[in-house]
Structure 1
Amino acid sequence: MAPVAEFETRRGWLFGLAYQLLGSSAEAEDAVQDAYLRWDRADRAAITHPGAWLAKVVTNLCLNRLTSARATREQYVGEWLPDPVPTDLLGPLETAEQRDSVSLAVLVLLERLTPAERAVFVLREAFGYGHREIADVMELSEANCRQLYRRAAQHLADHKPRFQPSREERERLAGRFMAAAQHGDLRALEELLAEDITSWADSGGRLPMARRPVTGRDRVARYFAGAWRKLPDGVDFTFAEVNGGTAIIATVHGTTMGVVALEFDGATIAGVRIVANPAKLSHMQGLAGS
């Protein structure tokens, strides 16, 4: 197989790995491109297992980026959320655990980990690597990788995957949520929301949105009823599969202006994450009407 073609067969997988390590689609694209440049310059005759070699390169590139990214995010205006990405760009997600691993909720939790803990956890949980394989990627002992994994799992111990209804049911609930918000129907909104619901909004300080989480059924219902009334004319809404779940996509003249990712727990909405920072929506363009 030609070198370029061999790399391209793995590009989607490598993007998924880099994205879960970084939480930024743009940085993930850059890391994958840097990996291609190294692949292009490498002595490929000496590479016995191209997939393992590329996974190691991408992981190390991301580890370097994570250190500087953390410092940048500490200066971020308002809530920081990962870039939303269409689910189909994240590779085959065959199990509920895999879909949960790419959710915005889990990616936010991964920010609690050190770069090494995050890499070990992602390789183990999302990509099914064994500890020996992870040790080869990380150039650490197997015992050290097991310890990093245990520490990462302890940091994320409070996260319990919620019961996800079918895609059809999620879209039905999302439609009810959107209709209730548009009509300012507080009672209908409250019927849909979990009592302990939290809503986060990330505009990077560019839009007049809540800079702190809004918590509680009553407050979140009022927040969305009020926010919908302030939307400009010409905003269209559609649904899309984003980060393994259902999201409402807001567009104006075909340009995506915001993503409202909904987190479900059975028949209730347990969390809402709004991403409206234009710098984070590059992978969400062109989804209107999907």
Structure 2
Amino acid sequence: MDAQTALFQQHRQRLFGLAYRMLGRPADAEDVLHDAWLRWHEQDTSTLDDPEAWLVTVTTRLALDRLRRAKTEREHYSGPWLPEPLEPSEEAPADALERAESLSLSFLLLLERLSPEERAAFLLKEVFDYSHAETAAILGIAEDACRQRVHRAKLRLREGRPRFQVDRAAQQRLLQRFVAAMEHPNLDSLRALFAEDAVHISDGGGVVTAVLRPLHGADRLALLYRQIALNSNGPGTAYELSTLNGAPALLIWSEGRLTSVMWVEAEDEHITAIHAIRHPDKLARIEAVTKSAGSASLH
């Protein structure tokens, strides 16, 4: 490996983490890194005082351009859009430990409240620990403008944050209770899982059956999941507890195919939000990795 390639590889994990948090899709983040590598390969690195700053700047601006296009495309997306999980192998332990919350699927979804420019400024300053001056230089804006973007981002995120943070053990317990209720579905056991104002959000992308708008209320969610259980339960159905993006998740299999990935937000041992990814393209990477690892299902 030549020195230029080695230097890029040295910073690759950080660059991927930034691009993924910007875009919410591993494949898009990889595309950004590929474009950044091409530009890096053409660059005379001997003239650079700070190679890392150059790479972060290029990666951020490429991700910004792609995110602006994606925002336009998502306006025509069929139903809600949810971020795509990383493969377990893509979650570097150090990154997951240092910035676990910013990698969670719930937090990535929260970032969708921000404009692309606010998202970039917030991530650089608050997640990747660049100063306002450094962030402004990366984005090519004045420092005061950078401060305003970060401030607006914090306000927007504060408005959308869950009221309480639930630890991993509580989330896992709720998912286990959810599985038990789905295996022997009745309205009382399902309704007991949900807070009164619980919401269900499902991403099928117009490719598979999914609720096209967020569904609110414990009664409606209990009816929905009872019907899903009655329609889908059988010898070929399996529920598997897993960890995706550093948090507990539930994988649902049918006849050996991954049909849904779910995660929850909760308060006082009740589910306040349940998110389900059903789009086959978003499940393909997780299915392939899980099968290759020979992971055993929960039931």
Taking structure 2 as the reference length, the TM-score comes to 0.87
1:211 paired residue number: 212
Q: Secondary structure at the match of 2:232?
A: coil
Deviations 1:100-144 (A, max 9, x none): 323333323322322211100111222222211101211112111
SS in 2 for 1:113: coil
Measured in 2, the distance between the counterparts of 1:29 and 1:235 equals 33
Closer, same or farther in 2 for the Cα pair 1:272/1:128, shift >3 Å? same
Q: Which residue of 1 aligns with 2:263?
A: 261
Q: What are the within-5 Å matches in structure 2 for residues 55-74 of structure 1?
A: 55-74=56-75
1:34 deviation in Å?
A: 1.0
Q: Which residue of 1 aligns with 2:281?
A: 279
| Counterpart-to-counterpart distance in 1, 2:282 and 2:216 | 24
Alpha-carbon deviation of 1:86?
Answer: 4.2
The code of the aligned residue for 1:257 comes to: T
Structure 1, 250-259 or 234-243: larger mean CA deviation? 250-259
> How far, CA to CA, are the matches of 2:246 and 2:220 in structure 1?
27
Aligned residue among 239, 263, 266 for 1:237: 239
Aligned counterpart, 1:116: 117
Change (3 A) 1:264 1:128: farther
State the AA in 2 paired with 1:126. V
Computed over aligned residues only, the root mean square deviation of the Cα atoms, in angstroms, reads 2.1
For residue 94 of structure 1, the aligned residue among 82, 93, 97 is: 97
Measure, in 1, the Cα distance between the counterparts of 2:211 and 2:68: 28
| Cα shift readout 1:174-208 (whole Å, capped 9, x = no counterpart) | 11111102211322222222221111000111122
Residue 104 of structure 1 is matched in structure 2 by 105
Which ranges of structure 2 fall in alignment gaps of 5 or more residues? Answer: none
TM-score normalised by structure 1 residue count = 0.90
Aligned residues of 1:84 and 1:275 also touching (Cα < 8 A) = no
- Tell me the residue number matched to 1:48: 49
Moved more, 50-59 or 1-10: 1-10
Paired position in structure 2 for 1:75: 76
Measure the CA separation in 2 of the matches of 1:240 and 1:43: 44
Q: 1:19-61 deviations in whole A, cap 9, x for unaligned?
A: 1111222211101111111112211112232222211111000
Assess if the C-alpha contact under 8 Å between 1:12 and 1:90 holds in 2.
no
Distance apart, 1:69 and its partner CA: 0.8
Rounded to whole Å, the distance in 2 between the matches of 1:42 and 1:267 is: 54
CA displacement 1:68-112 (0-9 Å, x = unmatched): 1111111111111111224663442336xx333233333233223
Cα separation, 1, equivalents of 2:187 and 2:8: 52
Whether 1:166 and 2:168 are equivalent positions in the alignment is: yes
Moved more, 238-247 or 98-107: 98-107
Q: 2:249–2:261: 8 Å Cα contact kept in structure 1?
A: yes
Aligned to 2:185: 184
- 2:22 partner amino acid: L
Q: Call closer, same or farther: CA 1:126–1:283 in 2, change over 3 Å.
A: farther
2: CA distance between counterparts of 1:235 and 1:7?
44
Deviates more, 1:116-125 or 1:255-264: 255-264
State the secondary structure of the residue aligned to 1:287.
helix
CA shift at 1:252, angstroms?
4.3
Amino acid of the structure 2 residue aligned with 1:281: L
Q: Counterpart of 2:290 in structure 1: which amino acid? A: L
SS at match of 2:227: helix
Contact 1:177 1:189 (8 Å CA) reproduced? yes
